[in-house]
Amino acid sequence: MRPIRPGHVAARFSVLLFLRIALCLGALPALAQDDTDGLLPVTEAYKLSADTSTPGVVKLHWTIAPDYYLYRGRMKFKGGDGVTLGEAQLPDGEKHHDEYLGDVETYHHGIDATVPYTLAAGATRLKLSVQYQGCHEVDPKICYPPNTEHLDLALPAGGVAATGASGSLGAALGKLGAASKAAPAGMESAPLPAEQAFKFEALAKDRQHLLLRWTLPKGYYLYRDQTTLRLKDAEGLTLATPAWPAGVMHDDPHFGQTTVYFDQVELPVTIQGDTSSRQTLTLEASFQGCQDGGLCYPLMTRALSIDLAGSTPSTGTTAETAPEMPPAAPALEVSLFTALLLALGGGLVLNLMPCVLPVLSIKAVGLLESGENPVRVRKHALFYTAGVLSSFMLIGIAIVALRSAGHALGWGAQLQQPLVVGVLACVMLAVGLSMSGVVQFGTSLGNVGNSLASRSGPAGDFFTGVLAVAVASPCTAPLMGTALAYAFAAPMLNALLVFLVLGIGLALPFLLIGFVPALGRLLPRPGAWMETLKQVLAFPMYLTAVWLVWVLAHQRGADAVGLVLVAAVLLAMTLWWFERSRSHGALSRVAVVLLALATLVPLYYLAHVPAPTAVAVAEDGVVAYSPEKLAELRKAGTPVFVDMTADWCVTCKANEHAVLDTDAFRDLLKRTGAVYMKGDWTDVNPTIAAFLQQYHSPGVPLYVVFPRDGGDGNKLPTVLTSSLVESALTRAAGTPVAATP
């Protein structure tokens, strides 16, 4: 968009336009006598209407007659007495080169503009002047002189305060409250279906510009900052940052100060890239809104197929079929006390999970080395617990902060970041090398190297606790799912308390050993055998590093694996030379620092490896998840088993091995006529994240069974059994359960 610049450019524009008008004026008398030319009066060629139903914003609409157009750069807005206007929001026009005026933008058929305003104290009406100018583009080709319309508009119910935003919201709520009181009894509280409450459509103005429109009934509003847009299956094309019109500031209990829209909002969006080879594009929009009074809808995702010829608007299809209308916040299915008990149990069970066991081997060796010294055992337990609790509290604070900002953070989502996975693999390798005796971290590093691998000293205990939490997230314990779901939806203090109790559960075995002397005496006495045990326990650390590299291969491919292996070799060389440098001078220690810096180089490049192009690989009996495909199957009356999984999710892999990758499950699918649909959350995927949020799941695994009759999806537990899955699918298909021989 090229703005009209002041000075000589504006003067040149005015002179050229005047000359163009003058050339046509000589023909006007004849045109006035000849009705066959059909020229319209300016106010009929460009019919202007205004809408003040949204407090603080006046909406202007021009209906432009066929063969006429308006100039974008010739529109001006001026407030009357007591009226202060903000910057007008105008959509992009059609760009072309005018023989007299140069590069211009014009509008055909119609245009919507929004102008924010504030009123002085005591103002009772909204007065403003609107100037515009346009032309007739077929014979006789004439341009009208600038036309100014003076508007004197009634204010919406409740008025608008001089403070603008806050007063606008008060007026809006007052208007909505009055509307609800006027509604028939019983109708004011009944929420509409999402498709009726938030009508969404899109139209291509040309091959590079889209116009999106949300239309809302009275008493509903849309969040601006909860809206995301993306193009699907459109390689080489992206969407520019949308230019949202002015909205109404709203003090939301969940999102804080945020911008919302009432009634209708139109959003121009520019497509970046070459669209010449495409006839249609698929736009996916995720958005959220509420009914006045606190009832909010879950995140809605709709896919629209847009004809780039721009013939008709697309209303799209619902990409996510929501369950029953939930309240403003996700429903808390359990009490705080129950969530805390489950969190404690989940933390305890987490100690037995394969992700955490390698790290716990470090503490096991430390406690054995402590022998019967109760002071040393208590210190180990306390500092390890401090590391665990600090890490869980940090995660809880991050989740609460992101949730308040309108984002969602799934449990285990850090393993979607290749850099985090690569760093963890290197940490596991370093700890394993330390336990194998390749390197011993001592006081020469001022206890800094201690932080991850030493078995003595507060820093080592503390950071072992941190490491245990870092690798715990892929191992969702059976009892953790409900507790985490509660924490992700609960008020801030309750959520932090749940994370704190999770940490207590993880650290509890070591706390009991440290503070219950009878348990401490059960530990074996120290001896030479401990060195062998320590070296044996290094191998689970190596296997954990291998597993992390395998996850990285699925996320970023062979290039990422090569980079992390180079980093691992450089890290091993750094640790080897560090051990040798103990008996050498300062120059050797400089070499250690240089090698350590060299280790960071491949990790830096690892963070910038692009994700491989997604290629749908057909699996036997498996359909890749997409909202459109799910909607299509449900519309056809097909039962669907949706499996949201990730390569780093150990519980997911255990369920697949025990239940989902078996002949019995495949036979069950054939018997019930169900489709097995799988979504992969190994890497960041907003579509799958929206599905998880819709079903209030803190992460993966998530299993949802959709019935044949189109009813609500049935969410299954995170740990599956064959009988549980068979029961759910047979109910969904409406077929009797086969008798077990």
What does the alpha-carbon distance between residue 2 and residue 108 come to, in Å, rounded to a whole number? Answer: 18
Classify domain 622-733 at the CATH class level.
Answer: alpha beta
**Residue 567 contacts residue 603 (beta carbons within 8 Å):** yes
Pairing between strand 640-645 and 199-206?
Answer: unpaired
**Residue 649 contacts residue 412 (beta carbons within 8 Å):** yes
Q: How confident is the model at residue 130 (pLDDT cuts 50, 70, 90)?
A: very high
What mean pLDDT is predicted for residues 394-406? 70
Amino acid of residue 390: S
Lowest mean pLDDT segment, chosen from 112-116, 344-348, 659-663: 344-348
Laid out side by side, the sheet with 640-645 consists of 622-624, 675-680, 640-645, 702-706, 714-716
**Residue 190 contacts residue 289 (beta carbons within 8 Å):** no
The CATH 3.40.30.10 portion of the chain extends over 622-733
Closest residue by Cα to residue 419 from 567, 639, 637, 271: 567
- Answer whether residue 227 shows pLDDT above 70: yes
Pairing between strand 248-252 and 256-262?
Answer: antiparallel
Lowest mean pLDDT segment, chosen from 209-218, 280-289, 461-470: 461-470
Write out the two tokens for 251: 């003090």
End-to-end CA separation in angstroms for the chain: 73
Q: ∠ CA 74-80-82 to the nearest 5 degrees?
A: 140
- Answer whether residue 584 shows pLDDT above 50: yes
Closest residue by Cα to residue 250 from 262, 241, 242: 262
For residue 309, which phi and psi values (nearest 5 degrees)? Answer: -70, -15
What does the alpha-carbon distance between residue 296 and residue 322 come to, in Å, rounded to a whole number? Answer: 12
Buried b vs exposed e over 258-286: b needs ≥16 C-beta within 10 Å? bbbbbbbbbbbbbbeeebeeeeebbbbbb
pLDDT, one tens digit per residue, over 293-304 is 656 777 788 888
Position 172 scores a pLDDT of 37
Count of C-beta atoms within a 10 Å radius of residue 549: 19
What does the alpha-carbon distance between residue 172 and residue 680 come to, in Å, rounded to a whole number? Answer: 43
Position 162 scores a pLDDT of 40
The CATH 2.60.40.1250 portion of the chain extends over 8-166, 194-318
Q: ∠ CA 140-145-149 to the nearest 5 degrees?
A: 125
What does the alpha-carbon distance between residue 535 and residue 284 come to, in Å, rounded to a whole number? Answer: 53
Position 563 scores a pLDDT of 93
Q: Alpha helix locations (H) across 439-585?
A: 450-453, 458-472, 480-489, 492-515, 517-520, 529-536, 538-580
| Most confident among 35-39, 110-114, 610-614 (mean pLDDT) | 110-114
Q: pTM of the full predicted structure?
A: 0.46
What mean pLDDT is predicted for residues 605-628? 73
**Residue 483 contacts residue 343 (beta carbons within 8 Å):** yes
Does 261 or 182 have the greater pLDDT score?
Answer: 261
Does 333 or 277 have the greater pLDDT score?
Answer: 277
Give residue 729's Cα distance to chain centre: 30
What does the alpha-carbon distance between residue 424 and residue 140 come to, in Å, rounded to a whole number? Answer: 74
User: What's the CATH superfamily of 194-318?
Assistant: Thiol:disulfide interchange protein DsbD, N-terminal domain (2.60.40.1250)
Does 527 or 306 have the greater pLDDT score?
Answer: 306
Identify the H or E element spanning 369.
Answer: helix 357-370
Does 693 or 323 have the greater pLDDT score?
Answer: 693
DSSP-assigned letters across all residues of 583-601: GS-HHHHHHHHHHHHHHHH
Residue with tokens 């997409």: 626
Please state, rounded to an integer, the average pLDDT across all residues of the chain.
Answer: 76
- For the chain, the maximum distance between any two Cα atoms, rounded to a whole number of angstroms, is 116
- Answer whether residue 118 shows pLDDT above 70: yes
Q: How confident is the model at residue 348 (pLDDT cuts 50, 70, 90)?
A: confident
Helix, coil or strand: residue 316 = coil
pLDDT, one tens digit per residue, over 76-87 is 999 888 888 888
Which CATH architecture describes the domain 8-166? Sandwich (2.60)
